[in-house]
């Protein structure tokens, strides 16, 4: 399959945007959310048109079929991310909920005042604020790892933040704001030297390459369906089975219990223990379809296509005076995310002018304000690519940037 064929799988990519007849859409905001292929849209549509029922509780045909489809989605995702056991795959709302679950049920349950959590300044707010809230509540200490001027983690600097009191290290596999690919396995190994647990925020890792949680070696791995061509409102927390089964429930409600009496309740094991109430059934099934779709394309095709776009776009942007690209200089150490500033224009002005040309990028702090502070910028303009983008999209982006330059001088 070439990128033309793949593009045709995404109905929204053939629309125009803006007033009047509009401009053909150039969608370069994939780090915020990806578009959805027909395969996922039709799977969710079919579920509601023909298969809808609540899971687990029913003895009737539709309920049993919905339960099977939900369980199959879990198995599909476990296989896709290299999880040894589907029971280690917990369906949650997204990365944010996954991290909050770990903060509450793991760290909240077993950490004490003075215990330390190591995190980096390149984290998304979703991997900062839950730890700040917990630290405040329990008297924990957050140890911040700085990044280099090229927006990368220096392993010695990372190691320097660990001590005998470090209980947990949390970090992004890939930075949403810069595209930096972190040396996750080496970082896990350092945390292990200090006996610390590890949570990897995989929100920007899963969309760009094959993930194997066993190989990564962390204790927890979180990601969101909507960033990997799946539906929104569904995501995954993967955790080691023995840890999950030793953690108290995150929320209480139906389906997560063994027995409820007036005196108290006992709880099921993972994953049910952490999936109180009716889950996002169609979302989980849609996410299974997303992994089926990606599996058919193949990660190699995806990586080759994104690498070409990253190298082409970076080379073309570097030709323009007054553009500063933040993040690794070596395109081999990053995914297809380009965060940049222009001498003459504010990121929001860049985004607004590009929008008049039908080009969707993101402008702002990208929910990574500590990182923006580190680089002493209020925000950046960010073009983030997916495998269904094309060199034509890059050319349109460059035409748009020339328009910005013309406008602001």
Indicate which residue of 78, 122, 367, 383 is catalytic.
Answer: 367
Q: Which is nearer to ligand PMP, 92 or 401 (CB)?
A: 92
Q: Which is nearer to ligand PMP, 121 or 401 (CB)?
A: 121
**Binding piece for ligand PMP, criterion CB under 6 A, among 45-53, 92-100, 111-119, 350-358:** 92-100
Q: Which is nearer to ligand PMP, 76 or 124 (CB)?
A: 124
Figure out which of the listed residues 76, 124, 362, 382 binds ligand PMP, where binding follows CB under 6 A: 124
**Binding piece for ligand PMP, criterion CB under 6 A, among 123-131, 246-254, 274-282, 399-407:** 123-131
Q: Which is nearer to ligand PMP, 191 or 203 (CB)?
A: 203
Is residue 95 a contact residue for ligand PMP (CB under 6 A)? yes
CB of 335 to ligand PMP, least distance (A): 11
Q: Which is nearer to ligand PMP, 33 or 344 (CB)?
A: 33
CB of 318 to ligand PMP, least distance (A): 25
Residue 336 contacts residue 208 (beta carbons within 8 Å): yes
370: exposed, middle or buried (Cβ count in 10 Å: 0-12, 13-18, 19+): middle
CB of 52 to ligand PMP, least distance (A): 25
Q: Which is nearer to ligand PMP, 323 or 371 (CB)?
A: 371
3-state secondary structure the chain: CCHHHHHHCCHHHHCEECCCCCEECEECECCCCCCCCHHHHHHHHHHHHHHCCCCCCCCCHHHHHHHHHHHHHHHHHHHHCCCCCHHHEEEECCHHHHHHHHHHHHHHHHCCCCCEEEEECCCCHHHCHHHHHHHHHHCCEEEEECCCCCCCCCHHHHHHCCCCCEEEEEEECECCCCCEECCHHHHHHHHHHCCCEEEEECCCCHHHCCCCHHHHCCCEEEEEHHHCCCCCCCEEEEECHHHHHCCCCCCCCCCCEEEECCCCEEECCCCHHHCCCCCCHHHHHHHHHHHHHHHHHCHHHHHHHHHHHHHHHHHHHHCCCCEEEECCCCHHHECCEEEEEECCCCHHHHHHHHHHCCEECEEECCCCHHHHHHCCCCCEEEEECCCCCCHHHHHHHHHHHHHHHHHHC
Figure out which of the listed residues 224, 270, 282, 389 binds ligand PMP, where binding follows CB under 6 A: 224
The count of residues interacting with ligand PMP (CB under 6 A) is 13
State yes or no: is 139 an active-site residue: no
| Footprint of ligand PMP on 367-386 (CB under 6 A) | 367
> Binding mask 312-351 vs ligand PMP (x if CB under 6 A, - otherwise)?
----------------------------------------
CB of 92 to ligand PMP, least distance (A): 9
Is residue 29 a contact residue for ligand PMP (CB under 6 A)? no
Is residue 94 a contact residue for ligand PMP (CB under 6 A)? yes
| Footprint of ligand PMP on 179-208 (CB under 6 A) | 201, 203-204
Q: Which is nearer to ligand PMP, 180 or 390 (CB)?
A: 180
Residues that bind ligand PMP (CB under 6 A): 94-96, 124, 126-127, 172, 176, 201, 203-204, 224, 367
Catalytic center residues: 367
């Amino acid at each position: 399959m070439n990128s033309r064929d793949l593009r045709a799988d995404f109905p929204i990519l053939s629309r125009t945007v803006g007033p009047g007849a509009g401009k053909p859409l150039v969608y370069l905001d994939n780090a915020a959310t990806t578009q959805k292929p027909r395969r996922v849209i039709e799977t969710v549509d079919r579920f509601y048109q023909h298969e809808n029922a609540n899971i687990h509780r029913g003895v009737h045909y539709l309920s049993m079929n919905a339960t099977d489809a939900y369980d199959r989605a879990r198995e599909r995702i476990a296989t896709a991310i290299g999880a040894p056991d589907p029971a280690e795959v917990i369906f949650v709302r997204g990365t944010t909920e996954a991290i909050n679950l770990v903060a509450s049920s793991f760290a909240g349950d077993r950490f004490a005042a003075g215990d330390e959590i190591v995190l980096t300044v390149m984290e998304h707010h979703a991997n900062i604020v839950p730890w700040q809230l917990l630290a405040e509540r329990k008297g924990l200490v957050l140890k911040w790892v700085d990044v280099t001027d090229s927006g990368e983690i220096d392993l010695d600097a990372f190691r320097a933040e660990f001590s005998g009191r470090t209980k947990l290290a949390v970090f992004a596999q890939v930075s949403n704001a810069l595209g930096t690919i972190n040396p996750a396995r080496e970082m896990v190994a350092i945390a292990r030297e200090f006996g610390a647990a590890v949570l990897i925020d995989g929100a920007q890792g899963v969309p760009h390459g094959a993930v194997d949680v066993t190989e990564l070696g962390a204790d927890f791995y979180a990601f969101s369906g909507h960033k990997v061509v799946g539906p929104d409102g569904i995501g995954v927390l993967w955790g080691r089975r023995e840890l999950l089964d030793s953690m108290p429930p995150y929320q209480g409600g139906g389906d997560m219990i063994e027995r409820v009496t007036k005196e108290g309740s006992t709880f099921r094991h993972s994953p049910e223990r952490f999936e109180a109430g009716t889950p996002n059934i169609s979302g989980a099934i849609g996410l299974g379809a997303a992994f089926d779709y990606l599996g058919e394309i193949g990660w190699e095709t995806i990586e080759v296509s994104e690498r070409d776009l990253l190298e082409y776009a970076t080379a073309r942007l570097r030709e323009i005076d007054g553009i500063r690209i933040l993040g690794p200089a070596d395109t081999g150490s990053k995914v297809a995310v380009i965060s940049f500033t222009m001498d003459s224009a504010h990121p929001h002005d860049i985004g607004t002018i590009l929008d008049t040309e039908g080009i969707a990028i993101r402008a702002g702090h990208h929910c990574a304000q500590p990182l923006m502070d580190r680089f002493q910028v209020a925000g950046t303009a960010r073009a983030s690519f997916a495998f269904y983008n094309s060199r034509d999209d890059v050319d349109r982006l460059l035409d748009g940037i020339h328009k910005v330059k013309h406008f602001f001088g």
